[in-house]
Amino acid sequence: MEITEEVEDDDFQFEVHPGVSILVDSVSLALVRGSTIDYVTELIGSQFAIKNNPQAKGAGCGCGVSWEPAI
């Protein structure tokens, strides 16, 4: 994931808070469909994390970032 202000033609835009949107391209959308995208703040920093992903195989490494698609 990255922060951007550019919207591409194949992006889907989800407004998560007034003035705050998440953009997901069409390929990635298939991999995160049904997931929860959370913004997590911890002692080591802040990041977006994909949680409860029905497209993931197994639990991943526990960091909330790495996972293997069940495709």
How many structural domains are present in the chain? 1
Residue 7 lies in a domain: yes
Residue 70 lies in a domain: no
**Better-scored residue on pLDDT, 24 or 68:** 24
**pLDDT for 49-71, tens place per residue?**
888 888 887 665 666 556 667 76
Residue 2 lies in a domain: yes
Q: CA-to-CA distance for 10 and 41, rounded, in angstroms?
A: 30
* Three-state DSSP class for residue 1: coil
Which CATH number goes with the domain that contains 28?
2.60.300.12
Residue 47 lies in a domain: yes
- In sequence order, what are the residues at sequence separation of 6 or more whose Cβ sits closer than 8 angstroms to the Cβ of residue 49? 37, 38, 39, 40, 64, 65
Range of the domain at 42: 1-55
Residue 42 lies in a domain: yes
Nearest Cα neighbor of 36 from 60, 54, 18, 23 is 54
pTM to 2 decimal places: 0.63
Is-contact 11 28, C-beta < 8 A?
no
